[in-house]
């Protein structure tokens, strides 16, 4: 099923599927668990449209390419162009919010990092970005206090809140827009908290934004 932005109701959102801008090391405890230094500025990388799949459907994880790690993140759907935007302008450009998995080939990423090379081969592979359906921004008016979680096979594996981000959601969007334009249909993933680990074929996952929505899914071998 080809990916299209959708509301929780199943209705389509009339925006194209754009680039996926991801933010690394935006939670201090996650940076520490991977032995990464805390950044002075947000760490950015991009996933292409070919990486995006519907989270609600069973998604594939690569086999024979080393560990595939899950990273649960808040997803921000943009509906206005942002270039050199203020935080107020950035907030106004958020149409909706959802949840996503930034799937990562961790062994390959470590290899690339050790050589001082870009991470894209470990982050941008086909199907590496399962994204949920979206809820309108009005359902989450306090961007500074979005509580979200991931359970795998019934056990909580990640749980945190946007209050603990090193750079806030408005600050992230403003920073990104100073380096390249965000366009309608783009998605920004705002960073993952601690608890990342390997996924295995057959795992059952439940992702939730507290008091707003939850989605259940599973993964299988590619």
Q: What does the pLDDT look like over 10-30, one tens digit per residue?
A: 999 999 999 999 999 999 888
Kindly tell me if the per-residue pLDDT of 34 is higher than 90: no
Fold of the CATH domain 20-221: Fumarylacetoacetate hydrolase; domain 2 (3.90.850)
The whole-number average pLDDT for the span 137-144 is 95
Structure confidence at residue 80 as a pLDDT band (50, 70, 90): very high
Kindly tell me if the per-residue pLDDT of 36 is higher than 90: no
pLDDT of residue 149: 98
pLDDT of residue 54: 98
pLDDT of residue 131: 98
Structure confidence at residue 65 as a pLDDT band (50, 70, 90): very high
What is the token pair recorded at 3? 């990916």
Task: From 172, 15, 203, select the one nearest 103 (Cα to Cα).
Answer: 203
pLDDT of residue 1: 82
What is the token pair recorded at 95? 């149409």
Kindly tell me if the per-residue pLDDT of 33 is higher than 90: no
The whole-number average pLDDT for the span 131-142 is 96
pLDDT of residue 32: 79
The whole-number average pLDDT for the span 196-216 is 97
DSSP state of 203: -
The whole-number average pLDDT for the span 187-208 is 97
What is the token pair recorded at 188? 């920004």
Q: In sequence order, which residues have a C-beta less than 8 Å from that of residue 61 and are 6 or more positions away?
A: 68, 103, 199, 200, 201, 219, 220, 221, 222
Q: In what side-by-side order are the strands of the sheet with 68-70?
A: 104-105, 68-70, 197-198
The predicted-structure confidence for 82-132, as pLDDT tens digits, reads as follows: 999 999 999 999 999 999 999 999 999 999 989 999 989 999 999 999 999
pLDDT of residue 58: 97
With beta carbons less than 8 A apart as the criterion, state whether 164 and 152 touch.
no
- The pTM for the full model equals 0.96
């Amino acid at each position: 099923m080809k990916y299209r932005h959708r509301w929780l109701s199943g209705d389509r959102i009339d925006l194209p599927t754009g680039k996926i801008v991801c933010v690394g090391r935006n939670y201090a405890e996650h940076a520490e668990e991977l032995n990464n230094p805390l950044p002075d500025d947000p760490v950015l990388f991009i996933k292409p449209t070919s990486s995006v799949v519907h989270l609600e459907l069973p998604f594939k994880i690569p086999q024979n390419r080393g560990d595939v790690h899950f990273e649960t993140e808040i997803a921000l759907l943009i509906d206005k162009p942002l270039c050199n935007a203020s935080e107020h302008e950035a907030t106004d450009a958020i149409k909706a919010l959802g949840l996503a998995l930034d799937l990562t080939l961790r062994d390959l990423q470590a290899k690339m990092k050790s050589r001082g090379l870009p991470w894209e081969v470990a982050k941008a592979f086909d199907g590496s970005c399962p994204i949920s359906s979206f809820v309108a921004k009005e359902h989450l008016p306090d961007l500074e206090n979005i509580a979200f979680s991931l359970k795998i096979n019934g056990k909580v594996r990640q749980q945190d809140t946007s209050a603990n981000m090193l750079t806030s959601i408005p600050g992230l969007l403003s920073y990104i827009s100073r380096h390249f334009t965000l366009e309608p249909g783009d998605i920004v993933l705002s960073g993952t908290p601690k608890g990342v680990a390997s996924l295995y074929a057959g795992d059952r996952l439940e992702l939730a934004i507290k008091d707003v929505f939850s989605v259940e899914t599973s993964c299988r071998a590619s």
